Amino acid sequence: PQLLSIFLESTSRMPSLPEHYFSAIAWTLKRAAKSLHYAHGRNIVHGQISTDNIMLHPNEEPKVIGFGEANNTDLANKKIADAVNFSKSAYQAITFRWPEERDAFIPPKLIRPECPKFLNDFCEKTLNSSDHSQLLIESVIELLTRPKAVKDPELGSSALRNFLSRLSGNQ
């Protein structure tokens, strides 16, 4: 197992991205968002969600680690903060850069031209706004869903497992 942040750092140094990189990342992010949604449904917020808190393993679903806040003080705003930080982490997984707070939003397509449209749209809808007051993890999950018309045949858990196995040399 490895943290998503370590995986991203090693992948960012490759001369080109592996063939199904964006499909594997979308699959991973969607599952991590679903686990965050499950926690939010039980009034548990993460508080520090980032790529350092998503654990990858070739034979398992991604795991979100490091949950810590389970109180009702300002819970709605903390859930929004989790969704925003998750979206920033997704941007990092797509572009290998953290979105800048002070600069204008840079769409992922400008950094990674091979980025699929739905991931570019996801980042624009979740991060290209000064008002995040309505962003919830449910919206994040919906936006991470690849449109059926352009679904990859290998999108899913077996694609991620194969991808991670090839990357780790366990083929």
- Angstrom distance (rounded) from CA 108 to CA 74: 32
More confident residue, 130 or 24: 24
Q: Which of 3, 108, 109 is nearest to 54 (CA)?
A: 3
Task: Find the DSSP H helices in 42-136.
Answer: 75-95, 108-111, 117-127
pLDDT in tens, 52-95: 999 998 888 899 998 876 566 788 889 999 999 999 999 999 99
Q: What is the DSSP letter of 2?
A: E
Q: What percent of the chain has pLDDT over 90?
A: 51
- Residue 159: is it exposed, middle or buried by C-beta count within 10 angstroms (0-12/13-18/19+)? middle
On the question of pLDDT at 150 being above 80, the answer is no
- Angstrom distance (rounded) from CA 160 to CA 140: 20
DSSP 18-64: -TTHHHHHHHHHHHHHHHHHHHHHTT-B-SS-SGGGEEE-TTS--EE
Indicate the pTM of the whole model: 0.82
On the question of pLDDT at 155 being above 50, the answer is no
More confident residue, 133 or 42: 42
Question: What is Dmax (Cα atoms) for the chain?
Answer: 48
**Per-residue model confidence (pLDDT) at position 163:** 64
On the question of pLDDT at 130 being above 80, the answer is no
**Per-residue model confidence (pLDDT) at position 114:** 93
